[in-house]
Amino acid sequence: MQDLSFITEWIDSSLRALMPGWLTVTVECLLIGVGLLLVYALLALFYIYYERKVCAAFQCRLGPNRVGPWGLLQSFADMFKMLIKEIIHLNHIDRFLFALAPYLVIIASMLAFAVLPWGNGIQIINFNIGIFFLIAVSSIGVLGILLAGWSSNNKYTLIGSLRSGAQMVSYELSIGLSVITMVCLAGTMSVEGIVAEQQDLWFIFKGHIPAIIAFVIYMIAGTAETNRGPFDLPEAESELTAGYHTEYSGMHFGFFYLAEYLNLFIVSGVAALLFFGGWMPLHIPGWEAFNYIMDYIPSVVWFVGKAIVLSFIIIWFKWTFPRLRIDQLLALEWKYLLPINLVNLVLMVLIIVFNWHF
């Protein structure tokens, strides 16, 4: 498979030929930032349209079909509407924390977004503790949600943020243990190293039953971590209006809306990285001709395609299962998922120690 790092190396060498080193680094950081924002925005628009169409199919409807061919421009129309909406300034709130909260949510999402391995040689943040960094920065988002609920001085937002805090802190344990289970199999916390370990066979096949159990728990916990149905208690419209972002308007509400859809992609992208090889094509040992053909598909297509398919599963959850009560939601984590995860981690360690994996 072609290594796409030659693109970044060409840009770097071209800039260094034109300007001093410090200015080259500055320009490269700006280019990365602009590119990240552009991909971030386009993916959010795609996911809004994608979920609407999937939801419509489940409910025997057409979904967006008026603005542009097949409704493709509906998300862009909604984006422009959001940009021109007035930001309503409220009284009797903590203004600084109220304004800070949506930026914390979006920053956490952007940092986690930057760790994902987009293709062979295309990764923004790449160091030997990439998975640890990913888990750490993704935990910042809950601070933004708690601040949004508390600073709004509204009983509905406060209840929503407290629910979200309890839910996200609880389910982070299951996500962390699922990730640790696969890190044990990979033998490294480097994102690039985890992808490289799956060049012969993806971990979902290589890791036997513990890998499948870790994948199922990760998908359940990831759905809860992103506050999506049936775990959308923090935003339960029938109880809390809109939950923790009830008092937000204009682009501040847009940041929460944007982060929700990008967190869906991030959860799916991390699942693709840990269980399905990231950008690595499907290789089957002994099938050299098949493997050779798979290598012709660009690595970026592999990664984005896997993430979109896994996102469909999470969207499927939302439009299939009814919302859980808060006691059911927490009981699922503490009584079932967490003990299963701990036993599963021990099983994976035994498989590695006795070399029972493929």
DSSP state of 89: P
Instruction: Produce one character per residue of 193-204: b if its CB has 16 or more CB atoms within 10 Å, e if not.
Output: bbbebbeebbbb
For the chain of 358 residues, list the mean pLDDT of each consecutive stretch of 10: 74 84 85 85 89 90 88 88 83 86 88 86 82 88 86 83 84 92 91 89 88 94 85 71 78 84 91 91 85 87 93 90 86 93 93 80
Read off the DSSP letter of residue 57.
H
At 211, is the secondary structure helix, strand, or coil?
helix
Token digits for 36? 């990240």
Predicted local confidence at residue 358, as pLDDT: 64
Contacts of 323 (CB under 8 A, 6+ apart): 229, 230, 231, 232, 233, 236
What are the counts of helices (DSSP H) followed by strands (DSSP E) for the chain? 16, 0
Lookup: tokens for 91: 């009284």
pLDDT at 124: 81
pLDDT of amino acid 293: 87
pLDDT score of 310: 94
How big is the CA angle at 261 (ends 260 and 265), to the nearest 5 degrees? Answer: 115
Euclidean distance between CA atoms 270 and 140, whole angstroms: 17
Which residue has 């775990």 as its token pair? 231
The CA-atom distances, in angstroms, between 207 and each of 271, 294, 326, 348 are 14, 22, 33, 8
Site of tokens 């552009």: 38
- Confidence at residue 331, expressed as pLDDT on a 0 to 100 scale: 92
pTM of the model: 0.90
Q: Which stretches of the chain are assigned E, i.e. beta strand?
A: none
Q: What is the pLDDT of residue 239?
A: 66
Reference 262, options 52, 71, 72, 108; nearest CA is 108
CA distance 251 to 174: 33
Q: What pLDDT does 240 receive? A: 67
Residue identified by tokens 């012969």 is: 200
pLDDT for 183: 93
Residue 56, number of CB atoms within 10 A of its CB: 16
Q: What is the pLDDT of residue 289?
A: 86
